Amino acid sequence: MNPRYGLPLAILLGLIVRVPFWIEALRTPVDGDTAIVGLMARHPGQGTTLWGQPYGSPLESWLAAPFVAALGPTTEALRLFYFLLGLALIPAAYELAKRLDGRAALPAAVVVACPPPYFLLLSSLPPPLYPSVLVLLAYVLALTLRIDQRLAAEGGPPTGLLALVGALAGLALWTHLMSLGVIAACAVFLFARARGRRRVLAIAALALLACSAPWWVRALTDRSATRIVSVTDRRQSAVAHLREVLPRLHEPLGGLLGSHVPMVPDDPEFIVWSPRAVAAGAILIYGAGLVFAARSLRDPRIALLFAAAGLTLLAFPFPLRSGPSTLRFLTPLYLPVVVLLAWVAAARVASRRAWIVVLVLCGLHLAGGTRLLRAWRSADRRMAPFLLPDLGPVREALERNGIRRAYASYGPAYRLTYESGERIVVSQPWNERFLHYPLPYLDEVRFAVRTAWVLTPRIPSDLPTPAALESALGRAGGTWRRTDLPAALVYHGFVPPYAAEGTPLPGGGAAGDGDLRTALSPSVTEPTVLRLPAPVPLDAVTLMAGLEGPRLLRSMDVEVSADGATFERVAERRRRGEREDLRWVNGHPQFVLDHDVLSIPLGGRTVAALRVTPVASGDAWRLAEVLVHPATGARFPWDDPLDPSLGWRERRRTLIANPRTDREDWYYRRLLAERH
């Protein structure tokens, strides 16, 4: 076939094969991970990881930005982007095989056009990061082979190609550390082949370091940057993990080649199995192709592809996140295997027989893919394994009640934010996947006065159950309303048990001067007693940290006394117990994890003195302000004097220009605004 027409026809074949899967993808709402890509596409200059995760790069969000800008924050915008990214693997395979042997280019492209079911899933409903990494690695391998040809030929060193391959490898490494096996194989190959000219390889090394700098600079100071490939933790040792994974290594390898496919990426329970004959036939063809290719290992180019696949397989069992169901971590080995198979078929077998092998393999792949398609068509997207209910009624309920900020679990939070075009901003109350790692929208929700809690009981999460949340709200006091929807329960209309207004503690010194820049530095072990000039009935008292220095104690008891002698405990905080301690802060209930504020409803108790006692703690702490809320009996929602559309800089400027030292929310908002 004329090479001019071969690649376009292969891409057309891939398009035809993928269209039914893409149609099903368009019927499927985006999940939380994909919604993050869409949200980051709306803010392309922010963040150096996948938001809320300590790893990954914004690469896919940069690539998706034109689609989101043109089509808006829709499912179609992200699906179209990933459709095209999935198709990009076809020319990538063509280019890689062409560098090995021109005769293998079209067969390799055709196999990737009709890939195993898992790659049809990756082209339709992929987990972010992986599709772009596979394309990058294919071109890293292809450029490595091209550089080898240039190094072997006469002429100057290919400095431009070396810079390009280093840049692509750096982007791949920044995006996902699973790319390290392929990059290492290419680095060793070029080092071995560039005898006498190795200094020129420094160009590629420098480009790699520059393009992966956002990852490795962070990794030098933050262990979480390598958490995705952690080999041990408190729950499991590396040896125990290897004992669990190694005996079942054939399962993810077989799934990658077509024996089975999860209905959603790497789900261990909802598996679609290919017919046994189909799976056996596909694995037999791949295995035979690799055996024949191994006879030519003396060819450095063949050795490179084997090394790229082998190092990926070798590294797979070690990270704790790897397991029999995590096929995605093995995906970098697939294109080298396909190219080796295409090379064997095209270079070692008669042309007609080679195409028979290729077409039979494609047919086996499509037989397994057809089962996946049938399973998708019959699946309810609201139920497992998708768990993607229609959140339109939730958005409508929030907008109807004038609520633009809310708390929800991981997936619903990012979906609601993306699908509303950020008219409604929703955040997890804490990072469910990586505890303490910053969340992009959490302070936005904390800053708001009118908020809601959105619970989706069918979707597993770390958030409280409806019964647990209602129990915590009951203990905290105040009132709320609950709206029951088909996919969620929405808690809103919050009325705190005390008013926003209060008085800085009279006679409190630095803790009663209305200035968050000044603070007391109490004893780290002994109780601290603060006395009022005279006993007074209080609805609440609020303790606040300062703008700088240590925060409030992580573990403490707070007591009050009506006579200054006998104290009664009214609040306690315990280390690692913050997610069970619901407090009224800024006019709505939230779990305050950062130890900035502790509000304590008192229900009209008469208070003459306040005592704060560290509990099993030696941490330094500071107390910048104590606000006492006189008992008024008033119960109403707090008003919000600030325009919610303001950015952080404008918020900070407005708060400083209009001090309200008599309001709890002014102090808390100052603390939040100073962070930004």
Q: Name the amino acid, one letter, at 66.
A: P
Per-residue pLDDT, 232: 78
Residue with tokens 């969620």: 488
What does the pLDDT look like over 62-107, one tens digit per residue?
A: 999 999 999 999 999 999 999 999 999 999 999 999 999 999 999 9
State the alpha helices, DSSP H only, in 123-201: 130-152, 159-175, 180-193
Spatial contact of 462 and 434, defined as CB atoms under 8 Å apart = no
- The answer on pLDDT for 510 being more than 90 is yes
Work out the percent of the chain whose per-residue pLDDT is above 70. Answer: 99
Count CA within 13 A, CB hemisphere, residue 91: 12
Per-residue pLDDT, 578: 87
Task: Dihedral sign for Cα 148, 130, 82, 55, please.
Answer: negative
**Residue 87 CA to its chain's centroid (Å):** 24
Question: Shortest CA distance to 520 belongs to which of 529, 652, 592?
Answer: 529
CATH class of 503-675: mainly beta
What does the pLDDT look like over 183-209, one tens digit per residue?
A: 999 999 999 998 878 899 999 999 999
What does the pLDDT look like over 463-476, one tens digit per residue?
A: 999 999 999 999 99
In degrees and rounded to multiples of 5, residue 297 shows phi and psi of: -65, -15
Distances from the Cα of 23 to the Cα of 15, 371, 373, angstroms: 12, 15, 10
Which helix (H) or strand (E) segment is 543 a member of? strand 528-544
- The answer on pLDDT for 644 being more than 80 is no
Q: Name the amino acid, one letter, at 493.
A: G
Angle between helices 334-348 and 300-315 (to 10 degrees): 150
Distance CA 171, CA 176 (A): 9
Spatial contact of 179 and 173, defined as CB atoms under 8 Å apart = yes
Work out the percent of the chain whose per-residue pLDDT is above 90. Answer: 86
Spatial contact of 499 and 459, defined as CB atoms under 8 Å apart = no
Per-residue pLDDT, 1: 59
Which helix (H) or strand (E) segment is 63 a member of? helix 59-71
Specify the 3-state DSSP secondary structure of 331: helix
Task: Dihedral sign for Cα 389, 391, 393, 398, please.
Answer: positive
The arithmetic mean of pLDDT across residues 586-592, rounded, is 92
For 435-464, give one letter per residue: b (16+ CB within 10 A) or e.
eebebbbbbbbbbbbbbbbbbbeebebebb
Reported confidence tier of residue 154, pLDDT bands at 50, 70, 90: low
The arithmetic mean of pLDDT across residues 494-520, rounded, is 94
Spatial contact of 373 and 467, defined as CB atoms under 8 Å apart = no
- The answer on pLDDT for 349 being more than 70 is no
- The answer on pLDDT for 350 being more than 70 is no
Spatial contact of 496 and 577, defined as CB atoms under 8 Å apart = no
Residue with tokens 């709306």: 42
The arithmetic mean of pLDDT across residues 40-56, rounded, is 94
- The answer on pLDDT for 348 being more than 80 is no
Per-residue pLDDT, 18: 97
Task: Dihedral sign for Cα 586, 590, 592, 598, please.
Answer: positive
Q: Considering the chain, what is the average pLDDT of its residues?
A: 94
Distance CA 189, CA 191 (A): 5
- The answer on pLDDT for 264 being more than 70 is yes
In degrees and rounded to multiples of 5, residue 252 shows phi and psi of: -65, -35
- The answer on pLDDT for 479 being more than 90 is yes
- For the chain, which residues make up each domain, given as ranges? 3-378, 392-495, 503-675
Distance CA 65, CA 203 (A): 30
Which helix (H) or strand (E) segment is 39 a member of? helix 32-42
Reported confidence tier of residue 155, pLDDT bands at 50, 70, 90: low
State the alpha helices, DSSP H only, in 276-391: 276-294, 300-315, 334-348, 351-378
- The answer on pLDDT for 173 being more than 90 is yes
In degrees and rounded to multiples of 5, residue 219 shows phi and psi of: -65, -25
- The total number of residues shown for the chain amounts to 676
Per-residue pLDDT, 476: 92
